[in-house]
Amino acid sequence: MKKVLLATSIILALAAPAFAGGTHDSGHGNEMEIGKPGDNHHVTRTIEISMRETDDGEMLFEPRTLSFAKGETIKLVIVNNGELEHEFVMDTYEENIEHKALMEKFEMEHDDPNSVHLEPGASAEIVWTFSNEGRFQFACLIPGHYESGMHGALDIKAVNS
C-alpha cells in the first residue's frame, strides 16, 4: 500500500509542471472581489488605457490610476502602444502578487474576464461592473514588467447619495 501511495505521489509531482503551463484560468467564475463582467447595455462610460514602454526602460499604463463608483459598469479599451507584448490584469493587490509569482515560475498567460494579453499594436475591451468598494490594482504580470512600473491603483468608491 505504501508503494502505491509513493508511486501516486511521484506521478502527481511530475505531472504538476504540465498542469501549470499554458493559460491561467483561476476559476474565478463570474464574481470576484473587484466585481464581475458587465453588460454592454449598462456601460456608463468608456476609458482608454494605453500600455507602452519609454526610452529609458520604464513600462507604464496611461492613465496611471483609475477611479470608479461602486456599481458602475465601465468599458475599458486597452491598447498596446508599445513594442513588447503586455497584459492588463485587474484584481486585489494580493492576487496580482500571487499571480505574478506563478508567472515567474511557469510559462503562462491569463485567460480570465478581468484581463487581456496583447501583442504590440493590438487592442481589446473589458466591460466590467465594479461591485465592491476598496483599493484594487491593475498590472502587467509578465515577468519584469511589474518591476519596470506597469501597475497602478484602482479605487472603487461609494456612490454619493
- Chain centroid to CA 11: 32
Q: What is the pTM of this model?
A: 0.77
Res. 75: pLDDT tops 80: yes
pLDDT digits (tens, 9 = 90+) for 82-137: 999 999 999 999 998 987 888 777 765 556 899 999 999 999 999 999 999 999 99
Question: Rounded CA gap, 7 and 17, in Å?
Answer: 17
For residue 52, report the phi and psi dihedrals to the nearest 5 degrees: -165, 170
More confident residue, 160 or 126: 126
Please say whether the dihedral angle defined by the alpha carbons of residues 70, 150, 62 and 107, taken in this order, is positive or negative: negative
Architecture of domain 32-157: Sandwich (2.60)
Question: Rounded CA gap, 50 and 103, in Å?
Answer: 22
The domain ranges of the chain are 32-157
| Residues facing residue 62 across a β-bridge | 50
Q: What are 91's three cell numbers?
A: 484584481
Per-residue pLDDT, 51: 98
